Amino acid sequence: MPDLLAGLNPEQLRAVTLPRESALILAGAGSGKTRVLTTRIAHLIQSGQASPAGILAVTFTNKAAREMLTRLSAMLPINTRGMWVGTFHGLCNRLLRTHHREAGLPQLFQILDSGDQLSMVKRLAKAQNLDEEKFAPRQLQHFINNCKESGLRANAVEAGDDFTRRMVAFFADYDAQCNREGVVDFAELLLRTFELLARNLDLLTHYQERFRYILVDEFQDTNKLQYKWIRMLAGSNGCVFAVGDDDQSIYRFRGADVGNMNEFLRDFGVREVVKLEQNYRSQGSILDAANAVIAQNKARLGKNLWTAEGRGEPLRVYAAANDEEEARFVVDEVRQLHREGIALADMALLYRSNAQSRILEHALFRAGIAYKVYGGLRFFERQEVKHALAYLRLAANPDDDGAFSRVVNFPPRGIGARTIEQLQEAAAAGLGSLSRAAQAGAVGGRGGTALAGFLAIVERLRKGAETLTLPELIDEALAASGLKDHYAAERDGQDRVENLNELVNAATLFNEEFEIGVEPAGEAQEDVAPVPGTHQQQVLAAFLSHASLEAGEHEAAAGEDALQLMTVHASKGLEFDAVFLGGLEEGLFPHDNSLNEDGGIEEERRLMYVAITRARKRLYLTYAGSRMLHGQPRYGIVSRFVEEIPAELCKWIVLPEKQAWAAPQKSAWDKPAWGGGGRGEAWASGGGRAPRADANQYATAPRASFETSRPDEHPFAIGANVRHAKFGEGVVINIEGRGLDARVQVRFRAEGTKWLALQYAKLTPA
């Protein structure tokens, strides 16, 4: 009989061998929680406390479930095929298939994925003549899913206004349609299973007696209904082995409720909280940084990660003048690490917002470094970006049928499939392109009127392409098309709006490079045919070619060594030898949206904790004095999360060409040592922090002048660091007016962005 317990550390052993009672295993990042969970199951079976059929194990991904079953097969000579190990949705599907009659479902009921569900919502909304501007299909879909995940049917939802009442009525109609068609969506799987067991006590008792041991992975990610489902299935005699980490609860936007962990302790009378704190992934300095940051959160159960592998290297911190310099630095460091023998696949570039990937992708593309965007699309392949580019393609060539088809009814403007079919028939009959067929009046009635409105937008953009700069043209396209307003109205549309803003930044950078004669990356000038038209039309044509190249080339093939790019959310559960975490400025990470949300900053700090603990050996933290936002520089201050890391854990990188700028602050560093890296970087080392490790260390914006002899001069400059008696430290990001009659807009570290009248503000230099 195999010795399952060999090699477990004392806390892991304690968790695996707990007696039959509910317990919480507080498992830190990299502490071997999957091993503990799997070994606990194997131990229960081997010791005769449970049969394979008497165990229910819940995971959050199918991948985790497969890994658990594979490990169990290797540990014990058992058949795992019949074991109840899977995700909430998978287990509920299995239970509903078994009891489909009691659940009121056909035996072969179908499951709607997210795309199928949205299609049904659109179909039903169209049949009811709902105004898509007011009741966006995605908004209706989110409303339905949120209600179900809260355990509510339409008749239980409180509606205090006409808008909500109409949403509730649609929810009821949607449910009725699903029942008629014999289909269920993902949220329905869990809700219907809960309702089935709640109203059928014999069935509930059967499963309560069968599953005497319930194990739940990633417990911090459970939502309200999932927790109620676990409580009901466990009953009064159930034994729940909950494994999770409240410090890694980062999915509140999906409904995850970190408070379930405290409720579990109370509801199940938990006596055992086992803390797995020994980390097998990261070096000591990285763990110390993670501990220091997360310790600032008040609402946590508390643990402290440690490792027996030594302190390792310090964290590298780099303050760039702007986001372009930040991206160049990252690319140079990636090259150096690769030369030193670290595979590209063992390095990751993490960012808070998807839109941040664009400038990194551009720098990597120009450098010819293979990369993959993990869990998402490359910037120019994202839906909203491709929609915006389609409008630009029509501005360059109204006869582009591909672009025409993509956006003729996006955002929705009442142009249906039949109208498109009529256009296609007319075009094939000799009218040429879809645009020409529409101009010739091939479609009448309401469809023709809607087409005329679309053609007016295209004509407006076509004329704009002759005279507007590229960034101006994109602004015009986003406004005229309604794309930005459309995504802004979606509940989860913030990322898409940020990507559209980033497209303006991309155009601004491209425009500058084009004007100074920089070749578009990936193509030689002699191979590019001259484009007729005005200078602005030539820039547009070149930009569209550039976007196509960046979208389609240098994509790493399957199995190819490639750098990994991803959001911090997508990185959870992964680990890398070297991690670059960029954009560490207030307003970006932590995100502006978190400042006004209850518990928002604490969730952002947990996200920072997750990001730090992805690194095994080397961690880079970078931030910029200015960052392009909608084609204009946005000045920021360093993230509070950077300043929460003890100075002795960090080394500040100063590039050789920046040493003169850093010199005035060098005296504050304890025993500065220069040299070391293959790139000839200079280190600010020895446990001393630059006195203000902020984004203006290398800022290109002019510093504030606090003495002025002219009444029309501003006593502050954009980019200046300031201090206010009430609001604390901040940076000037905008100025209106003249002299002391002016007002300044300041982004404060703790209080967000505020406009202040200079005459009364009593601002002082920071």
580 Cβ contact partners less than 8 Å away, ≥ 6 residues apart: 330, 333, 334, 347, 348, 349, 350, 620, 622
Phi, psi of 125 (to 5 degrees): -65, -40
In whole angstroms, give the CA distance from residue 460 to residue 174.
40
In whole angstroms, give the CA distance from residue 477 to residue 388.
7
DSSP label at 278?
A: B
For residue 110, the surrounding DSSP H or E stretch is strand 110-112
In whole angstroms, give the CA distance from residue 680 to residue 332.
11
Largest CA distance in the chain: 89
Residue 368, burial from CB neighbour count under 10 angstroms (0-12, 13-18, 19+): exposed
Q: Which two tokens stand for residue 724?
A: 């206010």
In whole angstroms, give the CA distance from residue 298 to residue 21.
29
255 Cβ contact partners less than 8 Å away, ≥ 6 residues apart: 146, 149, 150, 223, 224
CA dihedral 701→703→709→714, nearest 10 degrees, is 50
Residue with tokens 């898409």: 496
In whole angstroms, give the CA distance from residue 639 to residue 645.
11
In whole angstroms, give the CA distance from residue 635 to residue 585.
9
DSSP label at 215?
A: E
Give the bridge partners for 24, in sequence order: 242, 273
| Length of the chain measured in residues | 766
Q: Which residues are catalytic?
A: 33-34, 217-218, 248, 614
In whole angstroms, give the CA distance from residue 290 to residue 626.
26
Which residue in 124, 123, 142, 125 sits closest to 134, CA to CA? 125
In whole angstroms, give the CA distance from residue 589 to residue 73.
43
String of DSSP letters for 721-748: EEEETTTEEEEEEEEESSGGG-EEEEEE
Which residue in 550, 554, 515 sits closest to 536, CA to CA? 515
Residue 329 near residue 648 (C-beta atoms within 8 A): no
Dihedral class, residue 129 (left if φ above 0, else alpha if ψ from -120 to 50, else beta): left
Residue 427, burial from CB neighbour count under 10 angstroms (0-12, 13-18, 19+): buried
In whole angstroms, give the CA distance from residue 727 to residue 747.
10
In whole angstroms, give the CA distance from residue 62 to residue 90.
8
In whole angstroms, give the CA distance from residue 365 to residue 16.
48
Give the bridge partners for 86, in sequence order: 58
